[in-house]
Structure 1
C-alpha cells in the first residue's frame, strides 16, 4: 500500500479522508483560507516516507520538523537567508562526463533564465549561453570553486567580461591547461556576443540580475556545500525543508524553482524496479517522495512540472501543489492557459476552499453539475366551483450555485476525485482538517527541533576567488550631454580666471603649492 496524503475530513464522521494510491493532489486556496492548518501541517505530521517541503514562513519547520526527526528521519533545513542552514550546491549535481555535461548544464540554464516575456526570449537565451560557457570553464578550472557564487563573481565583470574571456582563451591555449574544444566553442560564443554593441548590454544585464542573488553572503554560503543529497530521497526516509521568510518569497522564487527542478530530476531517471536491491532483498529506491509545493506560482515556470506529473508517477514521486487559484497558473507570465491546464489535468484529486472569485466559483459550479429538485406548482379554477390544485415537477438545479461555492463556509472544502478502474469519480462536500483541533496532531507538534549547522563567518570571504577587473579610467568617456556640460563649465571658469587676472591688479592666484 502506498503512503497516504490527507485531503480532508468526512462530511459527518470523525474520520480523515486520504488518498493511498500513486495519486497527486492540488489545492486552490485564497490567502487566509487555512491551507496551512488544513493541508500542509497535517500531511507533514503524517506522511511516513520522504518529503520535500516548501516553507515560506518557517512555520512548518517549527511545528513539524521535531516530529519527523523523532520518527528516525534525516531532517534538513535549507534556509539561504541565514548562516544556520544545511547546504546544497546545485553545480555538484551536474554530470562531468563529456557525453552528458553540456546537456545538463543547458538544462540548468533553462531553469535560471526563463524569459519574463516571450519578446525577450532571445536575450534570455543569450544569457543562458553565457552561463553555460562559464560553467564549462569552471568545470575545467580546478583552481576555482565550482559554485554559483563563483559564476557570479566572473559574470559581475560586466562589460569587461568579453575581454576577460578573450584573455583566458589566449592564456589557456598557450599554457599547460588547455580547454576542451567544447569549452573553447562556448567561450568563443561569449566573446562573439560581447562584441554586439546593442545586444550585449541587455544580455549582460539579464545575466547579472539572475545571478546577483548568489553574491549575497548567506546565499553564497548556503549554495557552496553538499549537505543535502537529493539522490537519497528514495533510498532512505528524509525530509528537506526550503525555508525563507514571507517577505523574501519572491526574491527566492527562482532558487526554489532550481531546487525542486533538481530534486525531481534526481529521482525520476530510474524506476524503482530497475534500481536494484539491498542485501535484504528490498528495493534500493523503496520510498515514495512527496513534493509539498506551497506557493507553487511564486517559483515561476518550472519546466520540469510540465511533464513531471504525467511521467514520474511510476518513479515513486507524489505531488501536493498549492496555489491561490487557477487563474494564477493560467496567466501568460506563468504557464498560460494550455500549459496550466495540462498540469492540472494530470492531477487526480483537487481540493477547493472558498475561492473568493466568482469566475472560479462558476467554473466549480459547472463542474459539480446539476441535481434534480421537486418544485410545487399551484393552479386555481375560478369557475362556478372554485378549485385549487397542487402538483409537483422535477426541475434541474445546479448542485451548488456559483455564489454558494464562492461563499463556502470556512470549515468546508470541495473535493473532486477522478475515476479509476476500480472507483467512480467522486464529488465531496467535506470538512477541512484543522490540526490544532485534533488531539493526534496536537501531540506531534513543537517537539525538540533537529540541529542545524551554523556557517563559519570567517570562511565566507574564501568562498570565491576574486576576478581581476581592469577598467582603466583613461578609456572611460562620458556620454553627452555630461561631458559637454563639464567642458563648457571648465572653459567658463578658465575665462573667468583670465578676466580677473587682467582687469584686477590686486588679483592673486593661489596654487596648490601655496597651501599650508
Structure 2
C-alpha cells in the first residue's frame, strides 16, 4: 500500500472520530443548558461557536476537550492499524473489469487476438481482446481446448489475412467457408493428403529465383537452408555446413536450368554414384562463379567426407523431396506471401498429428519464408491488411530462430504472431532457457491453460506475482487457570497470488493471462460451439468447403513462372534423355528459340572407353590444382567434359537396355 493511501486512511479515521466527539459535545452542551428531556441540536455548536468561545470559555474548553480526545484516539488507532501495512511485500492482484477496460482489453473481436471471456460461454459477458499487444504465447497441454477456445474463434473473427498450421484439418473445416464468404481467397496446402490429393501448391524458391542479383540469390539460399535444415546432433554442425554449401550450389544450378524447385536441388545433390565425378561435371556446367567454386571444392573432397556431407544434408530435411507428392506440391506456387497485406487471403497448412514431426523441415521452411517475405520491405499504402499467424505445435517443429528474431520487429510489418506450445520444458529443450525467456518477453501476453507438468506450474506461479497475506498465530499453555497462558501474534508474509497447488488444480474452463507491465488476469475459456457469438458465425456457414482441385491448385497456364519451375526428371530409357533434349525443353519453357545448343554431339562406344580411361586418370590427379584451373576453363575443355558426360550417359542407358555385353565386347 502506498504512503498516500495510508495518509488518506489516517486522515479519514481521525475525521470520523472527531465527528463522533462533536456529536458527544453537542449532547453534553444541550443537556447542560436544557436538561435531559430536551432534543439535541447538532448544529448548535457550529452556529454559535464564536459566541460560546467569547462568553462561555469554560464550555468552550469542554467542547475542545471532548472533540480533541476523540480525534486523538482515532489518530492513534489508525496509526496502530496502519502499522502492518508498512510491512507489506508484494501487491499483485487480479485485474478488475475497470482495469482491463483502461488497459485496452475490451476491443471489438477481429481487431486483436481474442484470449478469453469474463463469463461462461453462454453468457453475454465481455470478450477479452488484446489491442495493445500484437503477439501472444499460448501454453496449453493436449486436451485443454486451445483449438476450440483460441484458434477457431480468432479465425472466425480476424479482419485481414491469416496463415495457420492446421493440425488434423479441423480449423479448415470449421472456418474456411466463413473466411471465403467474407472475401478471402482460401488456400489449403496439404502435401500429405494422400487420398484426395486436394492441395494447393507452394514453392518457396520462386521468391529467391526472381531476385536479379546473383549474390543476393546465393545469400537468400544460404539463409533458407539454415532455417529448415537442422540436425539434432550438435557435434555434426561442421558437416552440416558443408551440406548447406552443396544445397546453395545446387540451388544456383537449378536457377540456371530454369527449374527453381527443391525437388531439382534434391536431384542435383543426390544424383550420380560417383559424387566426385558428378560434382566436377556440375562445376563445369554451372555459370555462377560461387557455385562453380563450391562444386569444384566438393569434387576435391575425399569420398568419406563428401558422403557425410550428402548424407547429413538429406537427413536434415532435404530427403523429404524424394517423395513425389511433396515434390509436386512444392513445384509451383498458387499464392504469394509478398502480396499477403494487399488483399486478404487465408492459408491453411494442413498436416495430420503423426506427420508434424516428419514434415517439420517443410513446416519450418513454410513459416520462415512467410516471415522473410513480410519483412522484405515496410508495408506501403496499398498494403493495409494485418496478418495473423497461428503457429501451433511450436515445440514439435524444431528450432526456428527466425521466429524468435522476428517477434521483436514483426509488429512494424503488420504481423500478429501466436505461438502455441504444450509446455515450458519443451521450449527449453529446443531453445534453452534464455532464448525461451526472450520469446516470452516479446510475446507481451502469455496465456496459460491448466498446466500439467511441474516446471510449467512453477513458472506460472512465479510469473503471476507475489502478494502479502496476514498470518495470525495463537498459542495457549496448559495450566490450572484456562484464562492464563494465552497469546496471539500477527505478522505479514510474502505469498504467491496463484500458489503452485492452486495452479495445478486450475479449473479446465479457466485461463490465466500474464501481461507485460500489468496485473495478471483470470478469466474463462471460450468454447466456440457453446458461445453465443461464435456459434452463430459457425452455424451461418453454407455451401461446400473450398477445397482445391485434386492434384493441384489450378491450371498452370495462368502461371508462366510455374511452368518454368516444374521439375524435369530425366527419362529412365535412353531415348530423349540427352543433354541436348533437356536443354531444348528448357529453352521451350522459357519461350526462347535457338537453332543450336552448346552441347557436343553424341559419341560412339570407343569414345566411352576413352572416357573411362580419362576418368581413372582424373581421379588420380591433384584436385587442389583443379580448383585454381576451374576459373579458367576454356570452351574446348568444357565441350570435352560435356562429351564425356554424354558418353557416360549413353553407357548407362545401354546397360539398362541389356546391351552391357555388347559394350564390353567393343
Is 1:56 matched with 2:167?
yes
Q: Is the 8 A contact 1:354 1:407 kept in 2?
A: yes
The 5 Å alignment of 1:177-326 reads: 179-192=287-300, 195-209=301-315, 210-272=317-379, 275=380, 283-326=381-424
Q: Gaps (5+ residues) in structure 2?
A: 1-106, 557-562, 575-608, 614-666
Tell me the TM-score normalized by structure 2. Answer: 0.63
The 2-side partners of 1:205 and 1:66 are apart by 44
> Which of 116, 129, 151 does residue 232 from structure 2 map onto?
116
The 2-side partners of 1:109 and 1:468 are apart by 30
2:663 maps to which residue? none
1:493 maps to which residue? none
The 1-side partners of 2:318 and 2:191 are apart by 14
Is 1:411 matched with 2:411?
no
> Which of 71, 85, 102 does residue 199 from structure 2 map onto?
85
Return the structure number with greater relative CO, CA threshold 8 A, min gap 6. Answer: 1
SS at match of 2:436: helix
> Which of 257, 262, 266 does residue 152 from structure 1 map onto?
266
The 1-side partners of 2:432 and 2:472 are apart by 47
Is 1:127 matched with 2:243?
yes
> Which of 452, 457, 460 does residue 364 from structure 1 map onto?
460
2:530 maps to which residue? 437
Distance 1:38 1:158, change over 3 A: farther
Distance 1:397 1:456, change over 3 A: closer
Q: Gaps (5+ residues) in structure 1?
A: 173-177, 276-282, 420-424, 476-516
Shift of 1:182: 2.6
Shift of 1:14: 1.5
Is 1:402 matched with 2:500?
yes
Q: Is the 8 A contact 1:96 1:139 kept in 2?
A: no
1:13-37 Cα deviation digits (max 9, x unpaired)? 7221010135210111111111111
1:342 maps to which residue? 438
The 2-side partners of 1:43 and 1:356 are apart by 25
Q: Is the 8 A contact 1:77 1:242 kept in 2?
A: yes
Q: Is the 8 A contact 2:133 2:445 kept in 1?
A: no
Distance 1:378 1:168, change over 3 A: closer
Q: Is the 8 A contact 1:78 1:242 kept in 2?
A: yes
- Count of matched residue positions in the alignment of Structure 1 and Structure 2: 446
Q: Is the 8 A contact 1:414 1:427 kept in 2?
A: yes
The 1-side partners of 2:414 and 2:366 are apart by 18
SS at match of 1:435: coil
Shift of 1:371: 2.7
Between 76-85 and 356-365, the greater mean CA deviation after superposition: 356-365
Distance 1:385 1:312, change over 3 A: closer
Q: Is the 8 A contact 1:78 1:88 kept in 2?
A: yes
2:661 maps to which residue? none
Between 39-48 and 379-388, the greater mean CA deviation after superposition: 379-388
1:453-489 Cα deviation digits (max 9, x unpaired)? 22179x99x843238899x9x99xxxxxxxxxxxxxx
Shift of 1:165: 2.4
Q: Is the 8 A contact 1:356 1:407 kept in 2?
A: no
Q: Is the 8 A contact 2:470 2:490 kept in 1?
A: yes
Shift of 1:269: 2.4
Q: Is the 8 A contact 1:159 1:201 kept in 2?
A: no
The 5 Å alignment of 1:28-43 reads: 28-43=139-154
The 2-side partners of 1:207 and 1:34 are apart by 38
> Which has a greater percent of helix?
2
Shift of 1:345: 1.7
Distance 1:384 1:344, change over 3 A: closer
SS at match of 1:39: helix
Shift of 1:416: 0.6
Q: Which has the larger radius of gyration?
A: 2
Shift of 1:169: 3.6
Structure 1 segments, 4+ long, off by >6 Å, are 467-470
The 2-side partners of 1:181 and 1:396 are apart by 67
